[in-house]
Structure 1
Amino acid sequence: MGKRLAESYPKFLFGAMIFLMVLSFVLSFTVFHSPDKAKIITVKKVNPVEDGFDQIMQATGNIRETLRLKKIVDSISAKKHLTGADSALLDSALDRLSKIHQSLQ
């Protein structure tokens, strides 16, 4: 039945299809258009004392970590024979030292 209808009225169906596409286009920009949500600007209260204190605490933690890693590297380098675990520990300590050094720059 649908095939007979399409064969009988091809221009009407083509016109209806074009009309529906134009109607969809118009409705998508008018009725169904959702307004952009207003961007909420949040203002973070900046407290320079807390900010400075946090930086001091981070620097202190980095110094402690560096000293701990330096002791590990010194104790491993003082050994005459290294095991696989020593090599892995030395490698991880040196990697961590390089990450700390990169974070300071």
Structure 2
Amino acid sequence: MSHHLDQAIRDCIAACNACATACAECFSHMAGKHSDNACPACCIDCAALCRLCADAMARHSPFANELCALCAKVCDWCAEQCGAHDMAHCQRCAEACRRCAEACRAMA
């Protein structure tokens, strides 16, 4: 088994890590504030799954593709929730989620 990570996998790992960080930042700004949708709660699920997905790809888990498919779905949901808000941190989170979803769909 090769332990080489090709560029597409590295790019997806980077997108997952960037998304997890953006979700953590969004959550920290939104925690305790009123929201008419699932933000900031979606950020917790999204960040956790992004980190799990990045780790799975890095260690060549046999479940990486399935995790990537789920990660894309959760990122789409989080992007929709956070993207509905005008705050800059929510918009950054939504954009990071969109990039991650696209990268994960390509891996799945």
Q: What's the TM-score, normalizing by structure 1?
A: 0.41
Higher relative contact order (CA 8 A, sep 6+): 2
Between structure 1 and structure 2, the one with the greater Rg is: 1
